[in-house]
Amino acid sequence: MAASDQNYRNQYTLDIVFAVSSTLMLASIILMFWQDYFREFKTEQRSFRDAEAGIAQRQALQQLPNKEEFDKLEAAVAKARKEQKNDEIDAAKKEMEAIQPKKERADAAYQDKKASFDSLIAFRNQYADEHGKKAGDEKYAAEIDSLTKKLADAKAVQDTYDEQLKVSQRKMSNLTKDLTDAESEWKRLNDRFETQAKLAITKKWGLADSIRDLPMFDFLAPSIKIHQFTINDVPINFNFTYVRRFDRCMTCHQGIDRPGYTKEMLESLKNPLQPSLRNPVDAFWTAVAAMSPTQKPEEVTRLTKAGWAKQILGVFLAGDWENVSLSGLSQYDAEAAKGLKGRWDEVVKVAKQDKVGKEPIADYLTQKRNLLEAQGLLEARIKTLGPTEGVAPRPTPDQLAINFMPDAALTPARIKEFCGHPRQDLFVGANSKHPAEKFGCTSCHQGQGAGTTFNGSFHSPNTSETKNAWTQEHDFGKDTHTYLWDFPMLPSRFIESSCLKCHHQVTDLYGPQNRNEAPKLLKGYHLLQESGCYGCHEIQGRKGGRQVGPDMRLESNPPLELLTPAEQDKIKKDVDNAPGTMRKVGPSLYRIAEKTNREWTARWLKGPREFRPDTKMPHFYGLANNDKSVLPEHQKDFPDAEIQAITHYLFTASDAFLKEIAELHKDGKEAGESQLLDEMLAKPAANRTIAEKEELPKLQMRVRKRKSPLLEDLAKDYKGDPVAGRQLFSERGCLACHGHKGTEAAPLVPSSDLSFAPKVVSEANFGPDLSQLVDKLGKHPGDKDSARKWLVQWIIDPHVYSRRARMPVTHLTVNQAADVAAWLLSQKAVNLGDGWAATNVAEPSLEKLKSLAEVYFVRLLPAGVMKDLLDGNKKVDRAALVDLPEDEIKLASDGITSDSLKYYLGKKAVGRLGCFGCHDVPAYDTAKPIGVGLLDWGKKDPERLAFEDIQGYVEKHYYSVPSLKDKDGKPYGEQVKDGVKKMPYEAFFADALGNQQREGFLHQKLVEPRSYDYNRILAWDDRSRMPQFKFARSRMKDGESKEQFEARTLVEEAEAREAVMTFILGLVAEPVPLKSINEPSGDRLAEVKGRQVLEKYNCAGCHLIEPGVFDFKVSKPGSILLDASYDLASRTKDHVFRNHYNWVGKTPETPDRLVAPGVAPQLRSYKRKLLLDEGELDEWDLTDPDSAAKAKSDSLDVVYMRLGHALRFQTAHTTRKFLSDALDREQKKSADDKDESVIKDLTKKLKQQDELDRTFGDYRDITASNYVRVPAADMIYPPPAVFASRESMHRLKDLGPLGGTFSDILLNYLVAKDKGKSTEFYKLDQQGDSNYARAAGPPSLVGQGERTQSAWLNQFLLDPQPIRRMAVLRMPKFNMSPAEADALVAYFTAVSRLQNTGTSLENNEVIPQQQDFDSAYWKKKNEDYVARLKAQKTDKGKSRYDERMEFLQPYLDGKLEVGLEASSKRVATAQEALDVAKKALSQAKDVEKADKERNVAAKEKMLADAKDNELAWKEEVRKQNNGPKGLDREAKLKAWNEKDAYLADSYKMVTQICLKCHQVGQLGSALKIADEAQGPALQEVHKRIRPGWAEHWIAAPPRMIPYSAVMPVNFELGKNDWQDRMAGTSLQQVIAARDLLMVLPRIEAMPINRYWALSLPGLTTPEQK
């Protein structure tokens, strides 16, 4: 084609194309920018910026200084300014100005001289280097001399001017000091406000911000950008690889690390007024604000407008807001008053139309008024200080405003998005344990951390309602891949799951001091333990050689502790295959045939909860896949047949076992075989012969079986007394683990003292509820003899029945056990109703058994052979049977009978259903758990879960509800829809099931484990096998209907189930880097490990172990209450041990937040007004209906508790205020009314307050065991909701003090039992406590680590001995391993050390007192003491030393006859007294007879004692005279001076005082004080008690236990009693008693102490008897 000018394409077309494409490109670019500008996070950040500004404004307003204080300081500044001597200042300034140039000149001159000098020296040095040192010195000597002089002169001149300048500067600063100080004070007051105000202003979205963030500009320095944490330590699992974690959550959650960003604060950013009201209120406000200050009646003050506004508003808001009169104002400005009134009426009109209360308007106006005040303040500041101060510009009043955010911009979702993390002390914050920089967000919350959109980061709703809201707002769920992320965020209900990733010990989630940091997860953990889930589902904590989760596995068989030490060592070395530690939760079934009968067992298997509603045993039958109603016709009888088969198997196997052990006990080979076994084990395994190798396990088995004793009737000849049994059952601690309906009523009247046992309710469920026991026991139904025989044995020693039983040895005598058994068996079982009646299990026909057996055989044999075999056909093809497994061969060889079939089927079923997961079952000792391991279930791919037709099942059986309780908090119940009964089902879980999520699957698996078989045709043994558990174990409350109870149970069950789920979902087996894993060490590890043992044996069922943590903020009433508590606590004269936590509390980190270690918290109501106005603390009696009504309107709910340790707080000086107010009032009274003594008293008390301030500053310690009261609303942990009512206080079981329930139960029981007796021994005191009843119960273990010596505690735990005579029960003997006892000892020591960081408790303490008496320790003590004796004078002016010598005279001289004479005299006196008493008896009237008889008996006793004493003296005299000659006087005296004096006098004192209640060594056995009032014998103290604790205890018993002590304060501070026994101050006496107790048995036998002991009236030593 020829060239031409013509374009290839039409230019016009091209232009059009170009135009269009450019336009399109432009459009697309704009669109791109548009989209970018409105990216989700950018919108959020812009909106957050508004919120930030709003919060800063409000925080600035909150920081407004107090007007009074401001005025005071401002006046001080003005005064200082006025008083400033300006003339003098000017003069001083001039003076300074005059000196300054002179000084500078002098400086320069000096520098000049110095430089010359330096250079000269340099020359000299150079010269010296070249010509030698001497030459150098000589050459330059003259010059140096002259220059040195000049330099000195110049320096002198410089110094003079320096000094002059300093003097004038000092003068100047003295002149200006007052002003500077006043100004800086004033500045300090204003600074916080001004900084906040400045911040508020800078946070406002300004023009510059808008430009920076404009599209195209925003790449430069945008204020809106993605915030991201890069977490290397906790990588994210992408299935194939672990990838670094990027968390961008803070891009939107910008307030997450800001403590002030609470929900309430954010909520307040919204305008409290309805739009319709805003205009009239604003108009009214403008009118108020516009009023000129000159119209104001009073003098013009700083905050004129605000002050004015406050006055006017006061009129409107204080009174009756609808009928405001402005008479006060109209006096001054009628016009303005009219205008205002008009505006206000408009407000009221609109408010009434819109039915708006007074509060929002008041809130709104108050905010406005505060703003006005703040603006006024700024204005005033500018006026005083000038517009700028330094470089930064000051905010101007106009810049400060209150901006409300529209509701649309601050949706509920945004409030949640912007608010701070609720636990910043624990998470997010840089100083918390889990800072966001280190852990990020998604390592706990999961989800896609890199996502910057709502849906892209995979949020999970917590309820279906939230989900609906999200669908509206974010199109949540509409996207198909909403659920495709493997680990979407955890819904907040399961958030605690994440803790398990790093807290593998689980109990380490109890913080130090017993704070429960993950209540739900820990509840789940306990439920898992309680239900024994690990029996079937192993939770193997290790993977790939490292710990990845908690370790919950069954212990090996035989358990580790029953093996020889060598075997144990071998096993312990293999860390990866260490044996589990969990015991099976169910009882052993080896000996079931002794305990119960087949009939009961079969029914129990069919429906355990029908028999015992709160049993842990799950249901295996009557479930979704094996209930009669869902089974096909030919299988309908299978369940019953199988149950009968299991029962038959268990009993047959048990019988065989019992027969075997009976034979083994008879065969007489016991000693021989044990020895043989030892020999065989000693041989190295390699050296054993084949025969030996085969024989060994059998031999081991036989030896082990011999250790099972035979069941005997221990109380053959004693029937048992049910009345005594009931008392024993209530008192001896059974109720700490078991409940029984029979104790919940008091059948007998209180008057018959002996038989009365009051009502006592135990909610314990560690062991089974025993109410139905009578129907269960007995080898035949109703056979009470065998039941009794078994029960007595079980009570005496449960380990005969099973060596792994957790029930301890109770230390009851055989007769007492028989009494308890008699009572238990005399109690009629509660009528169990239809449910239990329906559990009758039909005996299966042979045909049925055969058809059930076919289920198994059909897989093993051809149909024909199977038929032949089961029909018992002799022609059966034997060759086909050879390959059959063992059980089938046994069946074939036993022949087909009903029994053999049942045995076979039973054994099969036990294996299939996994009964051995919870029970020891014969032949299943080494079977492996049947369930899927749960090690990493929490991250199981949902695609690998078989959901089957579960939705169909759920739709058919349930109806969906948004939450299990309706809006009023009432639980939903059963509903009949379309003629079908349906139960409520939480929509959240229905959703999760529908979307095939893990949570949904797990939930349904726990609700109805077998429902996944719905609509599926499966073989009998292919069906899912998991039984149905119930976790909540709810109890019916008094006055609750059956329906209410069932509905409540449903909710409680759901809560418990969720707790279990929380735990399971946390099992993700993530290999978290070692440094992130919480690996407690030292004391903390001991605490964590010990807690596991405490839980295993339910120690907390009886003992109070640790006080609770009560975290609270200090409000105004709160601080008044604290001051009052301190005031009361400090009234007692106390020996104070400043290094001990019972006297000195931890200084709080911030004074407005305290942690009280509280015990026995109660909820009480106080009159608020009295509390606040007068500091008088009066309590409402809520049982009185009148005052209850009053209390409601005007009361303060208070948590009232006793302190376990001291509490330190900052005083608000309210006590001082009340005292000085009272003094003021008194002084102002007229002369007649005035009481001088009151004035004197108050003045004295005020002086004491001064003294306290001087000593302790602002801090005060409320010592342990005193009461404190904290307003319930101030509580932070446990949350205030717990204290909403007495009902809700139940939650303290998990969140409050650890343990002590039985102690409380027993207290109330004993008090009730004693009530009405002529002298009530156990009696509640005014504190609601009873010291004797407390001492009768299990002791508190608070501070136990300090109390007892480790070695003693260890042996006591393994084999407890009786200690306290007051106790009505004894510590039982648990079958605890030595390692577990060690762990407990370490726990107590660790806890004491952790809480009392000052103590240096050793595990194996060295007790200095237990050294030899010749040691320096004792010598020093004695030396000091003798010196003290010599220095001290008696009243008669004699020295104490001489006094002692007098007493010792007969002893030193060897003239014990003196003592004998006195003793004989006592005999004579006693004889006389007896004669008199006898005579009186003979003359007595009938009425008096009983009295006189008792008198005679007492006299007889006295005489006998005196005679014993005389005998003892005789013996002592005989020893002195006949025996080897004793020491001579000098030697005795020397010994006394050097060694004996201190201990001898201590002994004298201790026998004098302590003998009143304790047995002191050998002494005191003659005392017949009732046991219940007697303290523990003191002779074992040196082994049991640590000296430090003994000292604290003797000095101040009330401080050392968290309830009323029985022991009085014997050595009160400042008292000087007992000087004739032990000379010294009361504290020295305490120490002497302590020292003595540590060596008591050794010193008792000292001759000098025998001499003293004999002189005690009425006492003898058993040694002499």
Partner 1 sequence: MQNARQPRVRFHFAFCILGFAFCISSGTVQAQTWGDVKGRVIWGGKNVPAPAKLQLPPGDPSTPICIKANKGEEPPDESFVVHQKNMGLRDVFVWLADFDDPRSKKPLPTHPKLKAIKVKQVEMDQPACHFIPHAIALREGQELVVKNSAPFLHSFKWGGDPNVNPGESVAMAPGSTRTIKPATDRLPIEIQCTVHTKMRSWMRVFSHPYFAVTDENGAFEFKDAPAGKYRLMIWHANGWLGGKDGNRGQLIDIEAGKVVNVGDLAFAPN
- Please classify residue 3 by burial: count the beta carbons closer than 10 Å to its beta carbon, then call 0-12 exposed, 13-18 middle and 19+ buried: exposed
Query: What are residue 1560's phi and psi, to 5 degrees?
Result: -105, 105
Min dist. Cβ of residue 492 to partner 1 (A): 41
Min dist. Cβ of residue 315 to partner 1 (A): 24
Min dist. Cβ of residue 1303 to partner 1 (A): 19
Tokens 């429902």 — which residue? 1011
By beta-carbon proximity to partner 1, the closer residue of 566 and 1490 is: 1490
By beta-carbon proximity to partner 1, the closer residue of 920 and 1314 is: 1314
Min dist. Cβ of residue 757 to partner 1 (A): 22
Tokens 């000792």 — which residue? 925
By beta-carbon proximity to partner 1, the closer residue of 206 and 1608 is: 1608
By beta-carbon proximity to partner 1, the closer residue of 1255 and 1319 is: 1319
Tokens standing for 1555? Answer: 């003998």
Min dist. Cβ of residue 1624 to partner 1 (A): 14
Q: What angle, rounded to 10 degrees, do the helices at 998-1007 and 987-994 form?
A: 120
Which of 850, 839, 854 has its CA nearest to residue 775?
Answer: 839
Min dist. Cβ of residue 1438 to partner 1 (A): 18
Strands 515-516 and 1153-1167: unpaired
- Which residues lie below 8 Å from residue 147, measured CB to CB, with a gap of 6+? 113, 116, 117, 120
- Alpha-carbon torsion (306, 311, 312, 317), positive or negative: positive
DSSP 1268: E
Min dist. Cβ of residue 1473 to partner 1 (A): 7
By beta-carbon proximity to partner 1, the closer residue of 1376 and 1474 is: 1474
By beta-carbon proximity to partner 1, the closer residue of 634 and 1190 is: 1190
Min dist. Cβ of residue 1215 to partner 1 (A): 14
By beta-carbon proximity to partner 1, the closer residue of 993 and 1632 is: 1632
By beta-carbon proximity to partner 1, the closer residue of 248 and 1499 is: 1499
Residue 1191 and residue 1167 in contact, taking contact as beta carbons nearer than 8 Å = yes
Min dist. Cβ of residue 1181 to partner 1 (A): 7
Neighbours of 846 (CB within 10 A): 14
Min dist. Cβ of residue 1637 to partner 1 (A): 17
By beta-carbon proximity to partner 1, the closer residue of 1358 and 1656 is: 1656
Neighbours of 275 (CB within 10 A): 10
By beta-carbon proximity to partner 1, the closer residue of 29 and 1476 is: 1476
> Collapsing DSSP states into helix, strand and coil, what is residue 81?
helix
State how far the Cα of 512 lies from the Cα of 510, in Å rounded to an integer: 7
> Collapsing DSSP states into helix, strand and coil, what is residue 777?
strand
Min dist. Cβ of residue 1656 to partner 1 (A): 8
State how far the Cα of 334 lies from the Cα of 326, in Å rounded to an integer: 9
Tokens standing for 130? Answer: 């070249």
Amino acid at 1381: A
Q: Each residue of 1251-1289: b (16+ CB within 10 Å) or e?
A: ebeeeeeeebbbbbbbbbbbbbbbbebbebebbeeeeeb
Min dist. Cβ of residue 1487 to partner 1 (A): 7
State how far the Cα of 882 lies from the Cα of 861, in Å rounded to an integer: 11
CA–CA distance from 1618 to each of 1441, 1550, 1634 (Å)?
15, 10, 16
By beta-carbon proximity to partner 1, the closer residue of 117 and 1267 is: 1267
Peptide bond connecting 422 to the previous residue in cis, omega within 30 degrees of 0: no
Min dist. Cβ of residue 1170 to partner 1 (A): 7
- Which residues lie below 8 Å from residue 1183, measured CB to CB, with a gap of 6+? none
Min dist. Cβ of residue 1396 to partner 1 (A): 24
By beta-carbon proximity to partner 1, the closer residue of 989 and 1200 is: 1200
Strands 1298-1299 and 1104-1106: antiparallel
By beta-carbon proximity to partner 1, the closer residue of 690 and 1487 is: 1487
State how far the Cα of 1163 lies from the Cα of 1179, in Å rounded to an integer: 12
By beta-carbon proximity to partner 1, the closer residue of 950 and 1367 is: 1367
State how far the Cα of 814 lies from the Cα of 797, in Å rounded to an integer: 10
DSSP 1540: I
CA–CA distance from 1188 to each of 253, 1273, 1281 (Å)?
47, 20, 21
By beta-carbon proximity to partner 1, the closer residue of 309 and 1242 is: 1242
By beta-carbon proximity to partner 1, the closer residue of 80 and 1633 is: 1633
Which of 1069, 1089, 1070 has its CA nearest to residue 1081?
Answer: 1089
Residue 1092 and residue 510 in contact, taking contact as beta carbons nearer than 8 Å = no
By beta-carbon proximity to partner 1, the closer residue of 1251 and 1491 is: 1491
Residue 1203 and residue 1125 in contact, taking contact as beta carbons nearer than 8 Å = no
State how far the Cα of 457 lies from the Cα of 468, in Å rounded to an integer: 18
Strands 229-237 and 242-247: antiparallel
By beta-carbon proximity to partner 1, the closer residue of 1303 and 1660 is: 1660
Tokens 């043992």 — which residue? 1093
State how far the Cα of 907 lies from the Cα of 887, in Å rounded to an integer: 8
Residue 938 and residue 542 in contact, taking contact as beta carbons nearer than 8 Å = no
What is the separation, in whole angstroms, between the first and last Cα of the chain? 147
Min dist. Cβ of residue 1216 to partner 1 (A): 18
Min dist. Cβ of residue 1339 to partner 1 (A): 17
Min dist. Cβ of residue 1364 to partner 1 (A): 15
Residue 1554 and residue 1578 in contact, taking contact as beta carbons nearer than 8 Å = yes
Min dist. Cβ of residue 249 to partner 1 (A): 49
Tokens 């791109």 — which residue? 32
